[in-house]
Structure 1
């Protein structure tokens, strides 16, 4: 099993569609006894939250977010926890909106040491 996510800050490696998370979004993760949660913000997202569980290297969570245009969105995501060659954490995600149409995949990675965290999550 990959290391704990507790206290890590991760960011998407690519931008998604407008109004969604992107490379300027920062996720601050917490983990305790198989439970995970994170706050996130940045780019088109003013504030977002996710909550769920971890079993081994699999995360299963729900997310909700407030966008800059005042709209809200929610969905479900399953992520595989992996490790990059330099030891940073990578999440390979499969997600689907529950509040609207759409689904997809994305990759988020732990920020390198010394990288600016950006948003105020």
Structure 2
């Protein structure tokens, strides 16, 4: 199921959203994502900014992850579901970042999350 990766496991790492084409990111309270990984399986949760609570599950192949997600919007209580693909990259600072490609509201979207120092 998994290809060899050049980057470390996501298990136990935390990421914060820094940009998104879906909505403006609150720099003081961005969405925060907690990742877990075992044997090519990815799962986790997220909250903050425009999301009350969210969950995701998927797989990793090399330095790419595929996930399905569901979350509740803070403003309306609407439940949103979807699928996405993220490229795992190492930033110039040595921290991991996720470049996420997904579809929402019938249009392709892009967001970037960076590993937190505690991650």
Is TM more than 0.5 here? yes
Higher strand share: 2
**What 5-or-longer segments of structure 1 have no aligned partner?**
115-121
Relative distance call for 1:53 and 1:81 in structure 2 (3 A) is same
**What 5-or-longer segments of structure 2 have no aligned partner?**
1-5
Residue equivalent to 2:3 = none
Tell me how large the CA RMSD over aligned residues is. 2.0
**1:88 paired residue among 91, 95, 100:** 95
TM-score (norm 2): 0.83
Q: Distance in 2 between matches of 1:65 and 1:54?
A: 21
Residue 102 of structure 1 pairs with residue 117 of structure 2: no
Moved segments of 4+, more than 4 Å: 20-23
The structural deviation recorded for 1:17 is 3.7
Q: Distance in 2 between matches of 1:22 and 1:57?
A: 28
The structural deviation recorded for 1:112 is 2.6
State the aligned residue count. Answer: 111
